Each structure stands twice: as C-alpha cells, then as structure tokens.
Amino acid sequence: MQVDQAGDIGVHVGSASTGVKVDSASGIGVAVGSAPRGVHVASASLAGVQVDQSDLGVFVANARNGFLAQTARENGVQVNSAVNGMRVLSATGNGVQVDSAGVGVWVDSTTGGGIFVRSAGTVGLQVQSALNGVQVDNATGIGVAVGSAANGVVVNAATSWAGFFNGPVSAKTCTGCALAAFGINTGAAALAPGDIVAIQGTRPGGTTGQPMLMEVDQVTQAGAPVVGVVYGRGELVTNVGTDGKTTTQLVPREGAAKPGDYVHIVIYGPAQVKASALGKTIAVGDKLAVDSSGAARGLKTVEVSGVQLAESAPTIGMAMESQAASKNGLIWVLVNPK
C-alpha cells in the first residue's frame, strides 16, 4: 500500500484486530510520501501496524513527526528483539523524543544496540518528562555507552542526585571535585557551611550506599580530631523503583544542620571554610590549623637555633586565597585534614 499524498489522513483504521498488516514486502511495507498523519490508528486491540517481514518495517519519506506517540499507556515504543532496537541515521532536531509515557523507550532484548543514534544535530535521546529518563535493568556489558560526544551525560537539574551509583565508580580525572561524607550533628548547636568539625564516633548508616555515619561536632579546642568542613545538611529521600523495591538514600541539601540532623561534610578537596580573625593574617599557601573560636588560622612559627619551624598542630588544609579575599568570613581552602 502506498499513499503519495493525502490531504488529511494517509491511512485511517477506526477499529481492527490488526490495523495494517504486511506479510511480506521486498521493498517498503507501508510508504507515505507526504501527509499530516502518515499512518493513524485510532483503536486496535492487537497491533496498530504489524509487519512480519520486509526490508523496512515502516518507512516515512516526509512527515512532520516520523513516529509520534502522544500518550502511551504503557510503552511509547517497544522492540522485543532486534539488531538495533531503534536506529536514527540523522536528525536535525531530536533523534527520539517522548513527551509523556509510562516508559519512554523500552527494549527487552537486542543483540546489537538498544538505542543507536549515529548522528543528531542537537540531542540524540531526549526525555522531556518521565519517571526514569533512561533505565537499564540488566546489561552484561555496558548499561549506557557514549563513544564520542562533546558532553557524555549532562544533568541540568536534579532534585536528589545528578548521578547515583550503588557500587564502585572508575574515572580518569575529576576536575573541581571534592570528596564528601555524611554524618550526624551530635553537638548542641547548628552546624553551618564552613564550620570545621571533629569526629566524635560512628553509628550504622542504614541507607543505600551509606553503611556508616560519622558523629560530628564543631571544633572548639586545639588538637581536636578534625575530619572535615561542613558543606550543608543531608536529607533522607525514599525512591520506589519500577521493580517495586523501595530504597532510602541520603542526598545533600543547602543550609545548616540542626542538632540531630544529617550533615554533609567535605573531607578532601576545595571548600569554603570559616577563617579566623585572630592571630596573623592568612595568606595564599598557608597551612591552616583551628583556633579557639573553631575557625581556620595560619600555623604559628617558632625559631629554634635560628631556624623557623611550624608548630606541630593538627591542620585542616591549605589556604587557596588570602583572608583579604574572604566573603562572609569564608575563604577557599584545599581541605586535607592531618
């Protein structure tokens, strides 16, 4: 069946067990040259379009939307078995776009690639709104592979994690990253971002990827076992997966952690730290200790036999900017407690 041009609808099936069925075609199963709707199936109890054997299952030469699933009760596109579940050779806009669906694109099994986009002008795969943008339940090789791209994976905004891995992660480099951990504020006062904290003990984590939590309090005396700097607070978030399993995990949030709250702590890397106004002025490169107010201060030096020696006090890290550059009493420090 070939429709070269149709004013409204190329092929319209009101109701049928099988909307359009092509048992065998050496060339094109169904071809629509130009139409507002290439193939429109209002209701089909079995298959809207079914092609048993052909070179091209469904071929659209020219259409505003090659394949459009406005609303899918279960799956926008489902491919049970194929060398390539869905293949887009070239798209100036979006290779595959699903506006709304229970599952955007679901591939049960493929021997090649689940979704393969050779070239896309802007976005290879875009999910506007979905419970899970991309979900891989089981992969013997690589769940999601990006061969070459300006940006492999970009997450502009996430309410919990930009990326969550329930297992080890391997990477060559991490630019501007800081290592962080979660703890519990066991002190009597709130812990604000920039506060230096000392470890008081540990307790079981009880959440996904968090087997242990540190018990911490603000440093108030020299020589305390400094563990890191407060970055913010933590919050418990519960997620229900498509398999029905419920997981609970800690996610970082901005703001202070009240007594008894979860606290997000930078234990290594760049972070803003409260700087002390006591003693000598902090300069770039200074090794920092903690003063009686609980803020970072420069190490004191003593002269022994004409040699200047730094005091042997526990340090929080190294100043990356001078105290004169501080904003709201905070300066950037390369945190590295010793």
Domain extent listing, the chain? 2-127, 171-338
Residue that has been written with the tokens 């420090």 in this structure: 333
**Kind and range of the H or E element at 262?**
strand 262-274
The predicted structure's pLDDT at residue 7: 66
Beta-carbon count within 10 A of 67 CB? 15
Long-range contact pairs involving 20-23 (C-beta distance under 8 Å, separation at least 24): 20/48, 20/49, 20/50, 21/47, 21/50, 21/51, 21/52, 22/50, 22/51, 22/52, 22/54, 23/52, 23/53
Q: Is residue 185 a contact partner of residue 263, using CB atoms and an 8 Å limit?
A: yes
CA distance 277 to 293: 9
CA proximity to 207, closest of 251, 170, 242, 243 = 251
**Residues found in the chain:** 338
List, for residues 101-135, the tens digit of each pLDDT value: 777 777 777 777 777 777 777 777 777 777 777 77
List, for residues 143-152, the tens digit of each pLDDT value: 888 877 777 7
The mean per-residue pLDDT over the stretch 163-190 comes to 86
Taking all residues of the chain, what is their mean pLDDT, rounded to a whole number?
81
What are the phi and psi torsion angles at 325 (to 5°)?
A: -90, 5
Is residue 235 predicted with pLDDT exceeding 90?
yes
| pLDDT band of 284, cuts 50, 70, 90 | very high
From the number of C-beta atoms within 10 Å of its C-beta (0-12, 13-18, 19+), residue 190 rates as: middle
Secondary structure in 3-state letters for 163-193 = CCCCCCCCCCCCCCCCEEEEEEECCCCCECC
The predicted structure's pLDDT at residue 216: 97
**Percentage of the residues of the chain whose pLDDT score is greater than 90:** 28
| pLDDT band of 1, cuts 50, 70, 90 | low
Structure tokens at 193: 């971002």
Secondary structure in 3-state letters for 70-95 = CCEEEEEEEECCEEEEEEECCECCEE
pTM above 0.75, yes or no: no
Residues with Cβ within 8 Å of 113's Cβ and at least 6 positions away in sequence, in order, are: 84, 85, 87
Q: Between 256 and 51, where is the model more confident?
A: 256
Is residue 202 predicted with pLDDT exceeding 90?
yes
